[in-house]
Structure 1
Amino acid sequence: MIIYTDIVSGDEIVADTFNLVPNKEFDILWECDCRKYLKRANEDFQLEGANPSAEEAEEEGGEGEATMVHDIEDQFRLVWLKAEEGAKPSKEDYKAHLKPYLKKLHKNAASKFAKADDPTAAEDAWKKKAAGAMKKILANWDNYDVLMGQSTDGEAMHVLIDFREDGVTPYATVWADGLKEVKV
């Protein structure tokens, strides 16, 4: 299994269990479909042979409490920056975050440029794709749910979740060069 961690914070962001595919328009962005569901308080999987009498006492207090979560959020302990709680950054704040963040991604992608047949052309193409991807994200900003890694490092990647054209299927968007592969 491969887990992808944020190059800035080291937080786990996604794994190869999610079908990561390049964005059709800007291949420096990866997308993966995810699910959104209600999760009850203290709801975790239960191991066989666990002591049910000890667990029943814990469950009684939280019955009926549920929150909406994304599976990617739940599995990788991402933090949902909810707009209704005032945690989602404004479009201007996100744009201000993106400029230094893209410089970090550019530095991370530099080794790929060096391996290309024409390093200068590869770097120029990356810059053009990054600018286009940034413009696309900012144009669609109001539609995104925004998540961050567990550490909530303000300089790290923001995972962006929107819905496919069907209006039902949520999908996450991440910057490909902002991820580091870790084999486990």
Structure 2
Amino acid sequence: MLIYSDALTGDELISDAYDLTETDDVVYEADATMITIKEGAVDIGANASAEEAEETLEEGEQRVNNIVHSFRLTETQFDKKSYMTYLKGYMKAVKAHLAETNPDRVAAFEKGAATYAKKVLGSFNDWQFFTGESMNPDGMVVLMNYREDGVTPYMVFWKDGVKEVKVVRLGPSLSSTPRSDMSTDTSLSQ
């Protein structure tokens, strides 16, 4: 499994468990769904059945965006001016990060980010904004809008602002025998 974490803060933002689509060579989009959660219920990550989609909520239940809920994103507010100020600083930080990690990508990022930012600013009132779990103001602000159907929410992540972290699940079927590349020196226990 791949977890996409914020390249600047380390906050986990999305995983490949969601169908990510690269758009304009600068962002990843992922469709989200609204799920019902109940206070005290344990979320095991399973998708809610379409048959369970009821209009009424029982006591202690609430409807939440599955991506926002799963990655503990926190909604934040911007007016257009403050978002532009944030975005300039964020783009500068991502550009500096790219200059260190992938210098060949800087020009494409600058061009694509400017174009996509204009798209967001052109429909600014349609967007919602979310920060990662740490709520670090220097980190990525994840964008949310709705598809043309007006019902399906989708989340937008700046492609060059995330890093892929491969998560390897270790299951109970693995042997407890030490690997050959690991030290088994027990002389310290004397």
**TM above 0.5, one fold?**
yes
C-alpha separation in 2, matches of 1:127 and 1:31: 19
In structure 2, the residue matched to 1:148 is 131
Is residue 91 of structure 1 aligned with residue 80 of structure 2? yes
Secondary structure at the counterpart of residue 18 of structure 1: coil
Is residue 106 of structure 1 aligned with residue 95 of structure 2? yes
Is residue 30 of structure 1 aligned with residue 28 of structure 2? yes
In structure 1, the residue matched to 2:119 is 136
Pairwise CA RMSD: 1.8
Shift of the alpha carbon at 1:136? 0.9
Give structure 1 stretches of 5+ with no counterpart.
47-62, 82-87, 115-121
* C-alpha distance after superposition, 1:51-105 (max 9, x if no partner): xxxxxxxxxxxx7133332111111111123xxxxxx121211110010110121
Q: Please tell me the residue identity of whatever aligns with 1:180.
A: K
Q: Is the 8 A contact 2:109 2:160 kept in 1?
A: no
Count of residues in Structure 1 that have an aligned counterpart in Structure 2: 153
Bigger relative CO (Cα 8 Å, ≥ 6 apart)? 1
Secondary structure at the counterpart of residue 92 of structure 1: helix
Q: Please tell me the residue identity of whatever aligns with 2:28.
A: W
Higher helix share: 1
Secondary structure at the counterpart of residue 14 of structure 1: strand
TM-score, length basis structure 2? 0.74
Secondary structure at the counterpart of residue 43 of structure 1: coil
In structure 1, the residue matched to 2:13 is 13
In structure 1, the residue matched to 2:185 is none
Q: Is the 8 A contact 2:30 2:156 kept in 1?
A: yes
C-alpha separation in 2, matches of 1:39 and 1:140: 31
Secondary structure at the counterpart of residue 133 of structure 2: coil
Shift of the alpha carbon at 1:146? 1.4
Q: Please tell me the residue identity of whatever aligns with 2:74.
A: V
Report the structure number with the largest CA radius of gyration: 2
Shift of the alpha carbon at 1:160? 0.8
Secondary structure at the counterpart of residue 102 of structure 2: helix
Is residue 170 of structure 1 aligned with residue 153 of structure 2? yes
Is residue 159 of structure 1 aligned with residue 181 of structure 2? no
Give structure 2 stretches of 5+ with no counterpart.
45-57, 168-190
Shift of the alpha carbon at 1:125? 3.6
C-alpha separation in 2, matches of 1:173 and 1:27: 12
C-alpha separation in 1, matches of 2:33 and 2:164: 23
In structure 2, the residue matched to 1:54 is none
C-alpha separation in 1, matches of 2:12 and 2:43: 20
Shift of the alpha carbon at 1:181? 0.8
Tell me: CA distance 1:18–1:45, structure 2 relative to 1, closer, same or farther (3 Å): closer
Tell me: CA distance 1:39–1:45, structure 2 relative to 1, closer, same or farther (3 Å): closer
Q: Please tell me the residue identity of whatever aligns with 2:40.
A: N
